[in-house]
Amino acid sequence: MGEEEKKKSFLKTFKEVLDGFSEGRRESVIALTCKEVQELENIFSLLLLGAFVGFPAPPTFLAVELLPYMEREMRVLHYRAETSGDMLAELCGTLGID
Amino acid sequence: MKVIFYTGKGGVGKSTMAAATAVQLSKNHRVLITSLDPAHNLGDIFGVTLKDKQTKFASNLFLSEVDLQKRSREYLEREVDVLTRTYSYLHALNLTNYFNVLKYSPGIEEYALLTCIEETIRKGNDFDYLIFDTPPTGLTLRFMALPRVTITWIERLMQIRRQILDKRYTIQKVRGAPKEGENNPEIKLKYDEKDDDVLNRLKALDENYQSLNRLLQGEDCSVVLVFNPDLLALRESERLIEGLRDLGLPLRLLIDNKVTKDNEDTAGQVEKMLVRYFGKDIPVRRVELAVNIACQLGRCLYEIPEDLVSAL
């Protein structure tokens, strides 16, 4: 490998490291917002489909009307239902408490 | 085009009054009378068999009875269709069976009723008058309240949805554009209001209900209250007046049906109490009970000598 190529490869790796670092920082900044979005989506689907778990629900047809477009929200709802057993641990994880 | 709803307690003669009005109006106008009551007797009044489509009775008079079960079924079938088209992986499953259960869920029938009213109004542009014979008080108030209740819900849901999109936008901005080859659906979330199917659907529904609500509360809509000279009808009519007032629906005429020589005094009292309860000036029409109509075979049920249209 020539001197020039070594330099290029080093710079490329260095750039990748920096990119990764920046991405990591960015992800950690928005982690809380991501959780918030998920939580809001969860609330949205719970409000809409709450009749199934005993919440006061909007007119049923509204739920039926929107159901076709709610794939992601349903998945979030399902995920939240699965992990809700250990809410405290998740909260600690999100807020970075060890 | 004017829209008139006939409301009142069960058995007071809503259908007969609606039919009589339709016949009187049809002398000078094109009229469509639609029965929304699941226990139809519009066909019996006119002596014809009606199906879920418009039937011409006279040159200016058209009749129809709504088949609610059929309407709910059709509505759900449409939804299942959209569902299977959107969730491609569900193609293999037979969702129709699941939706058969939804048919019995509360609210679907009122919704079918409302959709039906909306559709009749939308397609009824070539009529001068659209007359609706409604089911007894309870159901009527429920479906008439539906646009407003729904609008409230839609507004709340839209608010939450906008918050979600707002947060998604922030995330997207911080994250930057997805790199080539990245296929994680989490990274490509829709954040623009125009792209979000849920919000678009909510907006369309909102628009729909707002226009229906405007129409129901507007100048061209009238509600007619039919009652009998007795205590039960009086109490229920009072409840109905209050319900209509809450919903902002325009009550424009009271019809005191089945008045005879014997109950004339009671009729007078009931009318006075209702007008007082209503609080504003409102025309009252009295319709006499035709006691021996069964013996007069030549006379039709919908031919009523009293004038029912001048106040509308």
The residue of chain A with its CA nearest to that of B80 is A68
Distances (CA, A) of B280 to B34, B240, B251, B273, B275: 29, 15, 10, 12, 7
Q: What is the DSSP string of B260-296?
A: -STTHHHHHHHHHHHHHHH-S---EEEEE--TTTTT-
Share the mean pLDDT of chain B: 82
CA B259 to chain centre: 29
The beta strand positions in B2-146, using DSSP E, are 2-8, 31-35, 55-58, 61-65, 129-133
Q: Which amino acid is at A16?
A: E
The Cα B36–Cα A65 span in angstroms is 23
Rounded CA Rg of chain A: 22
pLDDT interval class at B105 (50, 70, 90): low
How does residue B4 score in pLDDT terms, banded at 50, 70 and 90?
very high
pLDDT tens, residue by residue, B192-220: 888 888 899 899 989 988 888 888 888 88
- Sequence length of chain A is 98
**How many Cα atoms sit within 13 Å of B232 on the Cβ side?**
5
In Å, how far are B23, B30, B65 from B59, measured between CA atoms? 11, 8, 18
Closest-CA residue of chain A to B159:
A44
CATH number of B2-175+187-297: 3.40.50.300
* One-letter identity of residue B251: L
Question: Chain B: nearest CA to A70, how far in angstroms?
Answer: 7
> What pLDDT digit, counting tens, does each position of B45-92 carry?
888 888 778 888 888 899 988 887 888 778 777 777 776 676 655 555
Provide CB contacts within 8 A for B158, sequence distance 6+. B199, B202, B203, B206
Q: Torsion over CA of B182, B164, A57 and B78, rounded to 10 degrees?
A: -50
Cβ neighbours around B117 below 10 Å, total: 25
Q: Give the rounded percent of residues in chain B with a pLDDT score beyond 70.
A: 86
- Which among B61, B64, B34, B13 is positioned nearest to B132, based on CA atoms? B34
Q: Tell me which amino acid residue B310 is.
A: S
Q: What are the tokens at B178?
A: 């997805």
A31 close contact with B: CB closer than 8 A: no
Residue B182 has pLDDT above 70, yes or no: no
Q: Scan for tokens 């507004």, then name that residue.
A: B155
> How many other C-beta atoms are found inside a 10 Å radius of the C-beta of residue A58?
23
Q: CB-based burial of residue B43 (10 Å sphere; 0-12 exposed, 13-18 middle, 19+ buried)?
A: middle
Express each pLDDT in B11-44 by its tens digit.
888 888 999 999 999 989 999 999 988 777 888 8
d(CA B298, CA B20): 16
Reported ipTM: the value is 0.76
Decide: pTM greater than 0.90. no
pLDDT of B113 strictly over 90:
no
Band (A52; pLDDT cuts 50, 70, 90)? low
CA dihedral B35, B112, B9, B142 (to 10 degrees): -150
Q: What is the mean pLDDT of residues B134-141?
A: 80
Beta partners for residue B34, in sequence order: B64, B132
What b-and-e string marks burial along B260-274, b requiring 16 or more CB atoms within 10 Å of the CB?
eeebeebbeebbeeb
Q: What is the pLDDT of residues B248-270, one digit of tens each?
A: 888 999 999 888 888 888 889 99
Query: Is residue B233 a contact partner of residue B227, using CB atoms and an 8 Å limit?
Result: yes
Does B121 or B137 have the greater pLDDT score? B121
Average pLDDT in chain A:
80
How far apart are the CA of A3 and the nearest CA of chain B, in angstroms?
30
Q: Search chain A and give the residue with CA nearest B164.
A: A37
**Sequence spans of domains, chain B:** 2-175+187-297
Q: Does A32 touch chain B (CB under 8 A)?
A: no
Q: β-pairing, B31-35 with B61-65?
A: parallel
Instruction: Determine phi and psi for B86, rounding to 5 degrees.
Output: -80, -50
Distance from CA of B75 to the nearest CA of A (A): 10
B297 confidence band (pLDDT: 50, 70, 90): low
Of the candidates B85, B150, B163, the beta carbon closest to that of A40 is on B163
Q: Is A15 helix (H, G, I), strand (E, B) or coil?
A: helix
Q: Is B83 in Cβ contact with A67 (below 8 Å)?
A: yes
Give the count of beta carbons closer than 10 Å to the beta carbon of residue A67: 20
Q: CB neighbours of B149 closer than 8 A, spacing ≥ 6?
A: A59
pLDDT tens-digit map of A13-44: 999 999 888 888 888 888 888 888 888 888 88
Q: Is residue A40 less than 8 Å (CB to CB) from chain B?
A: yes
**Model pLDDT, residue B87:** 64
Q: Is the pLDDT of residue B187 over 70?
A: no
CB contact under 8 A, B161 and A70: no
